[in-house]
Structure 1
Amino acid sequence: MLQLPTHRATSVALAATAGAAALSFALLAGTSATAAAPPSVSGSPEGAFTRIADFYGAYIDAVYDGDGRTADQLRSAYLSEPLQRELRQWEEANHADGVLRAQNVPLRWKVTSVDSGMGKTNAAVALTWSGTTTTTVHVQADLRTRKITSIGD
């Protein structure tokens, strides 16, 4: 008895044929047929700069989710004691989150290394609020302890 291919087998065969044709055309045209690389994130627990990026990513997630307990734990783990005290004072005076320097939560963030030296590393944290509205927070961390020691405008 003759069995016809299933719809899935036909779809797979057509997709393979189309892919081979596209690759052949790309090779003849001298272009690349590779797809864009998937996004990736990397870091190291040994680097103070990576710690800044890790902290801001996790902290923003916790605040966005309304998880104050996790946000407090992150502050305790990543921020120096003097900075934690300074932030509490800043927050009382400004009625806003001292880490974010705002009353709301950014929609996106990007941490860029500025420089390192004298036992410190510096980063600029760009916080995007809506559309193209972005503010920048300047952050410093100690290279030895990897704790964040300063957050400022």
Structure 2
Amino acid sequence: MSKPTAKRTASLTLAATAVLTLAFVTSAAADGSAPKAAPAAATAAAPSVSGSPEGAFTRIADFYGAYIDAVYDGDGQTADRLRAFYLSEPLQAELRTWEETNHADGVLRAQNVPLEWKVTSTGNGMGKANATVTLTWGSDTTQVFVQADLATRKIVSVRG
């Protein structure tokens, strides 16, 4: 099959646009009222993630997403670099001690990698951004409570 020419491609695009426009215009009621809204499932927005490098809460979410990906992929070197970048030095030391005592990952508070994660802001106060990280392990969930310093945006506490 030969490739369509630029002129034919433009014609096909114009024809498709005309059909879609005609379908929208003719979906209006005969009395001139606006067209009815499409069912919610048909117009649901695609998933999206947003954030800001200036926000401490965003840093918590960014860290947990990237860290879980690195651990899931077995990339210990990346996981270590993420810890060094996102976690305060005192917290890094605290986590090493916790991990030696508990024989588990201190960031995740577990020996395994969760299948899903969700970070929810629980507000700011006393110079800290507070968040709850919900980790899903099949049918079970656990929660980790995380704080980041608003000034440095470094994660300073992980409890759970």
Asked if these proteins are the same fold (TM beyond 0.5), I'd say yes
- When the two chains are superposed, the root-mean-square deviation of aligned CA atoms in Å is 2.4
* Cα deviations by residue, 1:110-141 (Å, 9 ceiling, x for unpaired): 100001011111000000111x3111100000
TM-score of the pair, normalised by structure 1: 0.82
Indicate yes or no: 2:87 matched with 1:75: no
1:101 Cα deviation after fit: 0.4
Distance in 1, matches of 2:140 and 2:43, equals 31
Matches within 5 A, 1:1-150: 21=23, 24-25=26-27, 27-28=28-29, 31-33=36-38, 35-130=43-138, 132-150=139-157
The number of equivalent residue pairs is 143
TM-score of the pair, normalised by structure 2: 0.79
Ranges of 4+ aligned residues in structure 1 off by more than 4 Å? 16-25
1:99 Cα deviation after fit: 0.3
Structure 1's unaligned 5+ residue stretches are 1-8
Residue 43 of structure 2 aligns to a residue whose secondary structure is: coil
Structure 2's unaligned 5+ residue stretches are 1-10
| 2:120 partner amino acid | T
1:20 Cα deviation after fit: 5.2
Cross-structure match for 2:8: none
